[in-house]
Each structure stands twice: as structure tokens, then as C-alpha cells.
């Protein structure tokens, strides 16, 4: 059995499902179009890489997560935000420049 681009599509589906769900609380006020563009670009680059380097393309989204997670945890630690829960919420909203409504 030969696996084609299905492997890359499966990896992208798993990554997006897990990370969109896990980090949704950190993006509540981010405009939908910005989130869609980000994920579309990740998908497009990965699929484009598949045609150049075949299954090595799955390394792109996986390795892209590593610095993103490191930056996320360092930023949260520096700003005294819980990196798992995005709490305290009011402080998190202020740091992101979002309007806090009680």
C-alpha cells in the first residue's frame, strides 16, 4: 500500500483539531479571518512542500509547533499568565489589547 498526500492531510487535521481546541481560550477576540489565514497558510505551505519533498513535508507543521509553544510558555510566564488556562482573564485581555467586559 502506497501512501500519498493523505499522510500530510491527516497530520494537518490532527494538529489543527488539537491546537484549535486546546488554544481557543487564547484566541477568543482574534478576528476569524486572521485565524483562517494562519491555518490556510500552514496548510498551503505543507501541501506545497509535499510536492517538492514528499513526506518530509510533515516536518514543517510539526517543527513549527515547537518554537510556537516555547514562545507561548515564555510569554505567559513573563506576563504572569497561566499558560494552560489563560488566567487571570482580565490581565490576559489587557495584555492582548482586547476590551474587557464584566
Predicted structure pTM score: 0.83
* Phi then psi dihedrals of residue 5, to 5 deg: -70, -10
Residue 47 lies in a domain: yes
Q: What are phi and psi of 79, to 5 degrees?
A: -100, 10
What letter would DSSP give residue 30? S
Give a yes or no: residue 101 inside a domain: no
Q: What is the pLDDT of residue 102?
A: 77
Predicted confidence (pLDDT) per residue in 76-87, tens digit = 999 999 999 999
Domain count, the chain: 1
| Structural domain that includes position 51 | 6-96
Amino acid at each position: 500500500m502506497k501512501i500519498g498526500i493523505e499522510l500530510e492531510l491527516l497530520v494537518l487535521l490532527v494538529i489543527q483539531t488539537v491546537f484549535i481546541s486546546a488554544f481557543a481560550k487564547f484566541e477568543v477576540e482574534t478576528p476569524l479571518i486572521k485565524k483562517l489565514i494562519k491555518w490556510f497558510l500552514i496548510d498551503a505551505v505543507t501541501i506545497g512542500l509535499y510536492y517538492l519533498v514528499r513526506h518530509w513535508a510533515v516536518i514543517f507543521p510539526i517543527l513549527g509547533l515547537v518554537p510556537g509553544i516555547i514562545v507561548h510558555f515564555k510569554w505567559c510566564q513573563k506576563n504572569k499568565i497561566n499558560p494552560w488556562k489563560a488566567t487571570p482573564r482580565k490581565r490576559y485581555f489587557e495584555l492582548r489589547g482586547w476590551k474587557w467586559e464584566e
